[in-house]
Amino acid sequence: MAPGDGAAGALAISVAYSPRAGEVDVCELTLPAGSCVADALRESGLTQRHPALDLAAVALGVWGSFVSADHVLRDRDRVEVYRPLRVDPKEARRRRQLQQREQAASARKARRR
């Protein structure tokens, strides 16, 4: 069945996971109507391809909106598995700004000499 061809009872679903920056694993599935996010994850084989992935410990979404594993899917939904942040974005920005200030100060000192 081609995605979106309207066959009764079948859903075209994508499952996407990015294990690291610049790498995305996308799996296209056809599931029966009434399937949920957990069904899509199980059928995708994601945990076999990424054994370190703990689905119980990650956030899940459909088209950028957080959902639970029992969320019922609709045709052409994209299930997304979000990896945890390594660093709080506010803390990372604070560190970058501190580093930039230090570089600017050392550049000013070098020009004075």
Lookup: tokens for 12: 């075209």
Whole-model pTM? Answer: 0.69
| Same domain, yes or no: 90 and 69 | no
The total number of structural domains in the chain stands at 2
Predicted confidence at residue 2, as pLDDT, reads 44
Task: Convert the pLDDT of each residue in 81-109 to its tens digit.
Answer: 998 777 777 888 888 899 998 888 888 87
Predicted confidence at residue 3, as pLDDT, reads 43
| Same domain, yes or no: 53 and 94 | no
What is the span of the domain harbouring residue 9? Answer: 1-82
55-63 CB contacts, 8 Å cutoff, 24+ apart: 55/81, 57/84, 58/82, 58/83, 58/84, 59/84, 62/37
Predicted confidence at residue 108, as pLDDT, reads 80
Predicted confidence at residue 91, as pLDDT, reads 84
| Same domain, yes or no: 99 and 64 | no
| Same domain, yes or no: 66 and 90 | no
Predicted confidence at residue 5, as pLDDT, reads 47
| Same domain, yes or no: 56 and 6 | yes
Lookup: tokens for 111: 């020009």
Structural element, H or E, at residue 25: strand 23-32
Q: Where residue 7 falls among pLDDT bands split at 50, 70, 90?
A: low
Task: Convert the pLDDT of each residue in 18-68 to its tens digit.
Answer: 988 888 999 999 999 999 999 999 999 999 999 988 888 899 999 999 999
| Same domain, yes or no: 45 and 96 | no
